[in-house]
Amino acid sequence: MTQPSVLILCTGNSCRSHLAEGILRHAAGDLFDVHSAGSKPAGYVHPKAIEVMKEIGIDISGHTSKHMNEFLDKKIDTVITVCGNADQACPMFPGQVNRYHWGFDDPAQAQGTEEEILNVFRRVRDQIKLVFEAYAAGYREKK
């Protein structure tokens, strides 16, 4: 039996969706086949997203920014949007069973000093971590 696939969507697929992908894969990689994509991919993973994930021992430096259309011909069981724009742009995927929207602030829009910007990335990372670890724990309990 194959693992259920989870696709995490955001607009740019440069920050929030990669934070969520890395955290969910770390928390439940044995339960899910986890991917992320964007409705308008930025073409890169934000360096500060990589940096703040490294702080908690999760390496997302190998992630790439992908368009959600790359997944239209794949079996996706669950789609989770992490920003409002992606929620509105999200198509129905063939065979999709579940769809959730958990919105988070966009850390790429943070302004201020280097440390203030990093703190926004850390705050969003920690919020995503709480939600996605709880999701993984709930799924694990149901199994």
Q: 105 with 32: CB under 8 angstroms?
A: no
**Active site (catalytic) residues:** 10, 83, 90
Could you give the C-alpha distances from 130 to 5, 6, 23, 26, 64, in angstroms and in order? Answer: 20, 17, 9, 13, 24
Q: 9 with 66: CB under 8 angstroms?
A: no
Q: 29 with 59: CB under 8 angstroms?
A: no
Give the dihedral sign, CA 134/116/84/54: negative
